Amino acid sequence: MSVFTAYFCGTGSHRFDDANPNFWNGELVSTLAANDEGREFVHWIAVDGPGSGNLQDDNLFVEPGGYFNWTGQLFGRGWEENVNHVLQVIKGESSWQRTKLSEEEYQRLKDAGVPVPDVSSTASWFWRTYDYGDRQPTPQALQERIISMFR
């Protein structure tokens, strides 16, 4: 029988707070996660707290709620999706994947010389929206593969 550890960061805190200068020696939960010697997604996972800035939205195994930082910090909105995310990681199956590239990701790929299709735009100049293409593979697909290989 194996053990899986879920590190839930507190409200307004995220997994990279182990080096945050506002804490004496880093935020406790993120410091514990950073020092875990197991394999991430296989033996452990660190989940950002509500109101932490949505740094993990693209990597969630469940659809993000799109909460504002202040609602997460004041009311703790988003903790339910954090719990559901961990349950899906334990199962090794994502129920949601972000398949569209963002503008930053598209530009990073272009700068690296990766052959990506040109940006397409729709609607008039006033309400124009851009399609930067699809991600392939998605972060969730990569994490599912890591889970299936090492568990």
Highest mean pLDDT among 32-46, 106-120, 132-146: 32-46
What is the pTM assigned to this prediction?
0.79
For the segment 23-69, what is each residue's pLDDT rounded down to a tens digit?
Answer: 888 899 999 999 999 999 999 999 999 988 878 887 899 988 777 67
More confident residue, 6 or 74: 6
Q: Does pLDDT of 128 surpass 90?
A: no
**Mean pLDDT, range 132-142, rounded to an integer:** 83
pLDDT for the residue numbered 26: 86
Using pLDDT thresholds of 50, 70 and 90, give the confidence band for residue 125.
low
Burial of residue 76 (number of CB atoms within 10 Å: 0-12, 13-18, 19+):
middle
More confident residue, 133 or 148: 148
